[in-house]
């Protein structure tokens, strides 16, 4: 049976409603985009320290939260030293607080399934939902920060160095890190710092094998001879000892923000 064609006035009214809905969505999207862009511009000017919350997630067992608080203080101080090296005395980029541990027995949405627009949109929804569920599990205490780094802690007895991985969106507000619950926190602190720098505009500077890309992946690209380097570029995570070769830093004191990263995050003129 063929449906009758709606009268012209009804079609016109329906079209007006549809246009109004689309315009409303467009306005909301534009307002959100404008607000986000404004916040990112303010960040890059470094007029105040960014408030960072490291949220410890414990799937089981104990987490030495006090050790993480000491580590967060070291990380904050080390990043401040690097900012002052580029901008002069007095500048502090991040004020870092530790929250938790929060009981959490699930994985984290580190990355989208692919680079397609649909998978990225699904991943964004997963991140939004996961952050909300963590906040609910924590009793609503993980909000109020400019940037939040959610650290999924685990005991890794078979890894003497300490395994750590992370994911943070470029110019984003959320980072995810997975690493050991205790022991030497140098590697997970390196990873947290790496992801924090992503959130303020820094890009990765390693090749497909995880080694420094010359010259942007060298902490001191003007060094003569260039190898071995004394420090690791923070956006690489290893001390380059030769082309295509490197070693893990022994501590976060061996990490530096190189000149390309400093330009990307607004510590020196672009």
Verify that 153 and 211 share a domain, yes or no. Answer: no
Last residue of a domain, one of 151, 167, 201: 201
For residue range 187-237, what is the model confidence (pLDDT) as tens digits? Answer: 899 999 999 999 999 999 999 999 999 999 999 999 999 999 999 999 999
Verify that 63 and 155 share a domain, yes or no. Answer: yes
Give the predicted TM-score (pTM) of the model: 0.80
pLDDT at 155: 57
Verify that 78 and 105 share a domain, yes or no. Answer: yes
Verify that 185 and 218 share a domain, yes or no. Answer: no
Per-residue exposure over 131-159, b if at least 16 CB sit within 10 Å of its own CB, e if not: beebbebbeeebeebbbbbbbbbeebeee
Q: What domain range includes position 210?
A: 204-270
pLDDT at 32: 38
All residue ranges of the chain with pLDDT < 50 are 25, 28-38, 156-163
Verify that 184 and 113 share a domain, yes or no. Answer: yes
pLDDT at 170: 63
Asked whether residue 250 is assigned to any structural domain, the reply reads yes
pLDDT at 159: 43
Last residue of a domain, one of 201, 227, 259: 201
Asked whether residue 95 is assigned to any structural domain, the reply reads yes
From residue 209, how far is each of 86, 164, 194, 236, 244 by CA, in Å? 29, 16, 17, 11, 8
Verify that 130 and 68 share a domain, yes or no. Answer: yes
Last residue of a domain, one of 201, 221, 241: 201
> Number of structural domains, the chain?
2
Annotate 6-75 with DSSP letters as a single string: PPHHHHHHHHHHHHHHHHHHHHHHHHHHHHHHHHHHHHHHTSSPEEEEEEEEESSS---HHHHHHHHHHH
Instruction: Round the average pLDDT of the chain to a whole number and report it.
Output: 83
């Amino acid at each position: 049976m063929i449906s009758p064609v709606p009268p012209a006035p009804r079609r016109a009214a329906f079209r007006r409603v549809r246009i109004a809905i689309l315009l409303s969505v467009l306005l909301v999207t534009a307002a959100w985009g404008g607000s986000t862009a404004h916040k990112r511009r303010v960040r890059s000017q470094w007029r105040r320290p960014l408030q960072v919350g490291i949220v410890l997630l414990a799937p089981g067992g104990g987490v030495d939260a006090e050790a993480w608080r000491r580590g967060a203080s070291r990380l904050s101080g080390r990043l401040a030293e690097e900012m002052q090296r580029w901008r002069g005395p007095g500048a502090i980029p991040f004020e870092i607080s530790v929250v938790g541990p929060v009981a959490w027995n699930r994985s984290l949405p580190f990355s989208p399934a692919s680079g397609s627009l649909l998978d990225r949109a699904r991943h964004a929804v997963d991140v939004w939902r996961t952050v909300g569920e963590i906040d609910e599990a924590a009793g609503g205490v993980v909000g109020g920060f400019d940037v939040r780094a959610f650290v999924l802690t685990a005991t890794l007895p078979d890894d003497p160095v300490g395994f750590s991985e992370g994911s943070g969106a470029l110019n984003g507000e959320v980072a995810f890190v997975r690493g050991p619950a205790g022991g030497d926190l140098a590697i997970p602190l390196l990873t947290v710092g790496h992801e924090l720098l992503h959130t303020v505009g820094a890009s990765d500077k390693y090749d497909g094998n995880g080694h420094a890309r010359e010259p942007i992946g060298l902490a001191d690209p003007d060094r003569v001879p260039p190898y071995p380097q004394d420090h690791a570029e923070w956006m690489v995570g290893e001390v380059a000892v030769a082309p295509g070769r490197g070693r893990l830093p022994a501590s976060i004191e061996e990490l530096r923000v190189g000149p390309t990263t400093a330009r990307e995050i607004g510590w020196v003129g672009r």
